[in-house]
Amino acid sequence: MGSLEISPTVWIVTIVVIVALLALDLAVAAWRPHAVGFGEAVAWSVFYVAVAIVFGLIFMAWAGGGYGTEYFAGYLVEKSLSVDNLFVFVIIISTFAVPEEHQHKVLTFGIIAALIMRAIFIAAGATLLNLFSFMFLVFGLLLIFTAVQLFRHRNEDPQVDDNVLVRATRRVLPVAPDYVDGRLVTRLDGRRVVTPLFIVLIAIGSTDLLFALDSIPAVFGITQEPYIVFVANAFALIGLRALFFLVKGLLDRLVYLSTGLALILALIGVKLVLHWGHTLDDRVPEVETPVSLGLILVILTITVVASLIKVRRDPTARAHAGSLRAHDDQRPDAG
């Protein structure tokens, strides 16, 4: 399978479609601000997943089955990571007690920041892989390390207050005691101060950065085609606002989500390391994309089914987003 040739016209049309879908998602919320119900969240989430699938089928018919398989495998990986990303969004919003009327603003910022950061990392990642084949080894080892840490601390949640950027911001800037009509900056006793919403956006932005560091090497483990990496990420991120309101009520039940993600990241990490070895010696085996896609589907299915069985047997079991390092004041209590 040769390199995928994408004309500037196809890139432009793709970006216009993605921006239009993102604008639709955000415009719906801005046009009629309201608490999104479960049924509405399900309907919009199904719509955006359907759009991603239709795009994948059209792309497969146009580019061929091999590239189509890479797209669907990449989309599955990125969608799984975006759910975990949303898990952390829920924790941040809960930790900082963001009023419901301001949650849309936080989610909008989070989605746009995630798209921008991932686009930057995609460009950088593609350049590095083209210049240095050993970057496959670096990316692979990074994913394996992340997978091991996530599995070790799968029953913990990241401590938002312990976020380096959040601590630094609080140390450098004076913070207002409460939210002020959704502003980021206000005046208090004659001096300019930032509001808690500003701190929340710092936390969300740094979370997006960390997830971009994981997600881009992960999808490059599926395909080295920048176009497929971009569309897999973009379609996984579009519709996150609706998915947020859907998973807010379901995430607690996915008690094995962190374990499943750790296995997927480890699998792709091994795939990247083997690919690097194959560039040095043809005798080193490679994991083909259809095999990766099958294994990812199996892991996700087992994760969901096992989680639901666990919660049915133990209604007190609660899911955790997982953490990359231990926190002394947290103790495992589920999964």
User: What pLDDT digit, counting tens, does each position of 276-321 carry?
Assistant: 898 888 888 888 878 888 888 899 899 989 998 998 888 887 777 6
Measure the CA–CA gap between 48 and 293, rounded to whole angstroms: 21
Q: Do the beta carbons of residue 109 and residue 231 sit within 8 Å?
A: no
User: What pLDDT digit, counting tens, does each position of 148-165 carry?
Assistant: 988 888 877 776 666 677
pLDDT, greater one: 232 or 26: 232
Q: How many CB atoms lie within 10 A of CB 240?
A: 25
User: What DSSP character marks residue 191?
Assistant: E
Q: What is the pLDDT of residue 50?
A: 94
Burial of 82 (0-12, 13-18, 19+ CB in 10 A): buried
Burial of 161 (0-12, 13-18, 19+ CB in 10 A): exposed
Q: How many CB atoms lie within 10 A of CB 145?
A: 14
Q: What is the pLDDT of residue 321?
A: 66
What the block records as the tokens of 94 is: 């809960």
| Residue spans of beta strands (DSSP E) within the chain | 185-188, 191-194
Q: What is the pLDDT of residue 333?
A: 43
pLDDT-based confidence at 331, cuts 50/70/90? very low
Percent of the chain at pLDDT > 70 equals 89
The rounded mean pLDDT for the chain is 82
Q: What is the pLDDT of residue 334?
A: 40
Measure the CA–CA gap between 294 and 302, rounded to whole angstroms: 12
Q: How many CB atoms lie within 10 A of CB 201?
A: 20
pLDDT-based confidence at 49, cuts 50/70/90? very high
Measure the CA–CA gap between 211 and 87, rounded to whole angstroms: 12
3-state secondary structure 43-112: HHHHHHHHHHHHHHHHHHHHHCHHHHHHHHHHHHHHHHHHHHHHHHHHHHHHHCCCCHHHHHHHHHHHHH
Backbone region of residue 52 per phi and psi (left: phi > 0; alpha: psi in -120 to 50; beta: other values): alpha
pLDDT-based confidence at 1, cuts 50/70/90? low
- In terms of C-beta distances under 8 Å and separation of at least 24 residues, what long-range contacts does 19-22 make, across chains too? 21/48, 21/51, 21/238, 21/239, 22/111, 22/112, 22/115, 22/238
* Residue 309 dihedral angles phi and psi, to the nearest 5°: -65, -45
Q: What is the pLDDT of residue 335?
A: 39
pLDDT reading at 332 higher than 60: no
Nearby residues of 218 by Cβ (< 8 Å), 6 or more positions away: 77, 78, 81, 143, 264, 265, 268
Measure the CA–CA gap between 118 and 209, rounded to whole angstroms: 8
pLDDT reading at 183 higher than 90: no
Residue owning tokens 């040095």: 280
Q: What is the pLDDT of residue 243?
A: 81
Q: Do the beta carbons of residue 273 and residue 143 sit within 8 Å?
A: no
Q: Do the beta carbons of residue 302 and residue 260 sit within 8 Å?
A: yes
